[in-house]
Amino acid sequence: MAVLIMLLHEWESHPRPIRPMPPNTHHDFDFLALGWREYGARFGVRRLLDVVDRHGVPATVITSGLTAELFPDSVRNAQQRGHELATHHYDQSLHPPVFRTRDEERDYLQRALAALEKVTGRKTLGYMSQGPRPTPNTLSICAELDFVWTCDYSDSDIPYLIDVGGKRLVSIGYVMPGYTDIDLVPLGLPGALAQLKGEFDAMYEEAQHHPMKFCYAIHVHIGGRPGMAKVLDNFLAYVKGHEGVWFCRGIDLANYWLEHEGRQAP
């Protein structure tokens, strides 16, 4: 059974209000929402990286191009710790469906890649659109830019191969099955941990008969707060008590599927 921890290290140029602005608002830039995002970039990501490192668990950090430009040290630190860096497009405020043409979407993605690769010095191999909300053009753009994996799709328990004009992309899947921290926060800290454990137990039971994958996606500005980070800490300790669990990064899962595609059937 594969367990994938994704840290969403993202940035919005115009943060969406986290609660309604006051009536008759004239200035619509929400500094409360800005501080929420900045907390994640300055404190949350480091706290989460400390948790996964303490357990020896590799993670995939999916980051915006803007994040790489504004907080390059946080991106560089994740890389130095041995975690995978993937791209989350350029700006969380502009999801791919807003682009009217393929070229516009491609150029914006290249802008994100340039920002991320300037910091890491490496080619970026994994992609997730904001949302995730891909367009009919996204897969062909990813193939053209030589990505290895995408997690834009939530339609399978396990990875599968996508043939895009003769090039192979691995769909490693987003949180299906699994959770985001946004799903769990309303349950409270005890409820969040119980939900993660319960879902893991169900999948672990199935994994005795066929391959299974569990994905937990954590936004650094939400799951990076002390209480939710402790939920992750406790969850990883619980999972590590089970035999046959493989903690992997997105690229590890994609490479495994490419190597074993002849023997594994989705």
| pLDDT 10s digits, 157-169 | 999 999 999 999 9
79 pLDDT higher than 50 = yes
Residue 178, classed as helix, strand or coil, is: strand
Is 246 domain-assigned? yes
> What is the CATH classification number for the domain harbouring 7?
3.20.20.370
Nearest to 151 by CA among 66, 88, 245, 238: 88
Asked if residue 20 is part of any domain, the answer here is no
- Percent residues over pLDDT 90 in the chain: 84
Would the CA dihedral through 62, 228, 83, 250 be positive or negative? negative
Torsion of CA 225, 54, 245, 129, to 10 degrees: 40
The reply to whether 116 falls in a domain is yes
Give the model's pLDDT for residue 25: 82
Query: 22 lies in a domain?
Result: no
**18 or 255, greater pLDDT:** 255
Does residue 266 lie within any of the structural domains? Answer: no
Return the pLDDT at 207. 95
Domain containing residue 187: 2-14+31-260
pTM of the model: 0.92
pLDDT at 74 over 60: yes
220 lies in a domain? yes
Rounded to an integer, what distance in angstroms lies between the CA atom of residue 110 and that of residue 186? 36
- Tell whether the model's pLDDT for residue 152 goes beyond 90: yes
Give the N- to C-terminal CA distance of the chain in Å, as an integer. Answer: 14
The total of structural domains in the chain comes to: 1
Q: How far, in Å, CA of 201 to CA of 73, rounded?
A: 37
Does any domain span residue 145?
yes
Q: Is residue 21 part of a domain?
A: no
How big is the chain, counted in residues? 266
Beta-ladder partners of 3: 214, 247
